[in-house]
A = this chain, B = another copy of it.
Amino acid sequence: MTVSEAAERVGLTTYTLRWYEQEGLVEPVDRDSAGRRRYSDQDVDWLVLLTRLRRTGMPVRDMRRYAELARQGDRTLGERRALFEAHRDRVLARISELEEDLKVLNYKIDIYGKMERELL
């Protein structure tokens, strides 16, 4: 599929897709006879995984590192697993943090509600 079709599927722009390739997050994508990118389903799967990593706050730098490891094949499985485990821990910590902050938010909402009722 074309760059714009792939962009549509993964929810990124064509700009971003080309930039990801340039940044080494994606292997050079196959081209047709006219030099236009042709994305395979595997390319899209990979991009979807990358969007998950980005969404969880993984820096592009780390995603590049992960992409490099993936390119090197099975011998980097352990390292890739370690990278994901470390990231999982960060995501868990982030969720805890958000849940803590949620308490403050709820407390404030409650207080504002009470103050509003007192003003009547």
Contacts and interface: CB of A to CB of B under 8 A. Distances in A.
B97 A92 contact: no
Contacts of A102: 56, 88, 91-92, 95
A105 B92 CA distance: 11
Interface string A50-76: 001001100000000000000000100
A99 to B, nearest CB: 7
Contacts of A55: 97, 101
Nearest to A57: B98
B105 A98 contact: no
A91 B96 CA distance: 12
A12 interface: no
Contacts of A80: 112
A112 B79 CA distance: 10
A37 interface: no
B77 A119 contact: yes
Given A81-B113, A95-B102, A98-B98, 5 more contacts: A55-B97, A78-B112, A80-B112, A81-B109, A95-B98
